[in-house]
Structure 1
Amino acid sequence: MKITVDVDCTPEELRTFFGLPDVRPMQDALMKQIQDQMAASLHAMEPEAMFKVWLPAGMQGMEQLQKMLWSQFSHGSRPKEK
């Protein structure tokens, strides 16, 4: 025997029925605070500083790779004479 019960209610109604707290005001306040902090930090940074923060390892790695390649090309490898 199979019994199926369909409940048609909104998430707010279900939360109230189970006695769970409404956390939407807390989430809204937290999201507003995060947005304000992000906006303030973006306006305070110059584009060059942002790239240094976002891509420190990538840019340094590219510079090191370029230096290594140029040093290898400048020394050159000669074939061994027999």
Structure 2
Amino acid sequence: MKISVDIDCTPEEARAFLGLPDVAPLQKAVMDDVQKRVMDNLSAMDPETLLTTWIPAGMQGFEQMQKMFWSQMTAGTKSKD
């Protein structure tokens, strides 16, 4: 024997019927906090700030790579003398 029951209710009504907590206020508070953090951090995404943040590290890495190449090249020429 097979019995099926169709219940037509909203999610809020189902949560209330099953005794589950209403998490809508908590979800709204969390989403408001996330939105505030995203908006605050958008100021760090302007091109000038990105360049000043990335270029020094990139240039330092490039200079280190150049020094490594030059030291390898000069080491090769010194050993042939």
TM-score interval (norm. to shorter): 0.5 to 0.7
The runs of 5 or more residues in structure 2 that have no matched partner are 67-81
Q: As a proportion of its length, which structure holds more helix?
A: 2
1:32-43 map, 5 Å: 32-43=32-43
Identity, in percent, stands at 51
Match of 1:8 in 2: 8
The runs of 5 or more residues in structure 1 that have no matched partner are 53-58, 68-82
For 1:6 and 1:24, the matched residues in 2 are separated by 25
CA RMSD of aligned residues (A): 2.7
Match of 1:31 in 2: 31
Shift of 1:3: 1.1
Structure 1 residue runs of 4 or more that deviate by more than 3 Å after TM superposition = none
Paired residue type of 2:4: T
Give the aligned length.
Answer: 56
